[in-house]
Amino acid sequence: MLVGPDTDDLAELYAAPGDRPWLRVNMVSTVDGAATGDSGRSGSINNAADKRVFDHLRATADVIVVGAGTARTEGYGPADRPIVVVSRRDEVPEGLRGAPPGSVLVEPLGDAAGFRRRLVDRGWTRILCEGGPSLLHDLLRGGVVDELCTTTVPRLVGGPGPRIVAGPALDVPLRLHTLLEVDGTLLARWLV
Ligand SMILES: NC(=O)c1ccc[n+]([C@@H]2O[C@H](COP(=O)([O-])OP(=O)(O)OC[C@H]3O[C@@H](n4cnc5c(N)ncnc54)[C@H](OP(=O)(O)O)[C@@H]3O)[C@@H](O)[C@H]2O)c1
């Protein structure tokens, strides 16, 4: 499918299966594969189309999962749904320290299937992971990702920026579910 979505279309275009838990990861990169721009943050490469999907995916998730590196680098603050920060340290990232009690959890990933199971057992069946690249690697290696949502922004930035997956080599086949185009930005849903 190749269309330019209106906001109203996003609910249908990004609908996740309602009959089972679903873990999706949302990432943005440039055409040359950079996951950050010169600021070292994804905020220097994303754009309005990406932001619209980012907000929609948050609004339809039960829980946000994020690597501690991303929470620290991107300065994560409280959201209107629970945030699980994946970390090997027992330390809440600075921007999340004022969050309402219970709304931010810090947990190691450990066994990825067990981690996912614990989220589902809390009633969080629509799980949105916002990266970053190291956490995405480990979730893929653990075989617990159902869907990868990607935004490819129409820019080339060169430089040393990371890709959306970091770490040892993997080979994960993907199946294209949906491809949208908005002013040159490509928004895709890939089934893992
Ligand atoms: N383009 C995008 O869509 C996008 C999305 C997110 C982030 N980013 C960018 O990616 C960069 C950060 O990359 P990153 O790879 O460091 O991010 P990350 O995966 O969010 O953070 C890595 C940190 O998360 C924790 N972590 C990750 N995997 C873990 C595991 N299996 N078990 C326990 N803890 C684990 C560790 O935290 P502790 O050190 O606390 O133990 C680790 O140091 C930033 O520049 C950010 O802006 C880009």
**Predicted pLDDT at 2:** 40
Number of domains the chain is built from: 1
Q: Which atom of ligand 1 is nearest to the CA of 74?
A: 47
Q: 161: Cβ below 6 Å to ligand 1?
A: no
Tens digit of pLDDT for each residue in 66-90?
999 999 999 999 999 999 999 999 9
**Predicted pLDDT at 7:** 64
What's the rounded Cα separation, in Å, for the pair 119 and 145? 13
What is the domain range of residue 124? Answer: 20-185
d(CA 131, ligand 1 centre) in Å:
6
Inter-residue contact 7 to 51 (CB < 8 Å): no
Give the number of other Cβ atoms within 10 Å of residue 47's Cβ.
Answer: 16
**Predicted pLDDT at 43:** 85
Q: 74: Cβ below 6 Å to ligand 1?
A: yes
* Residue 15 is assigned to a structural domain of this protein: no
* Residue 47 is assigned to a structural domain of this protein: yes
d(CA 113, ligand 1 centre) in Å:
19
* Residue 31 is assigned to a structural domain of this protein: yes
* Residue 58 is assigned to a structural domain of this protein: yes
Q: What is the CATH number for 181?
A: 3.40.430.10
pTM summary value = 0.96
**Predicted pLDDT at 4:** 56
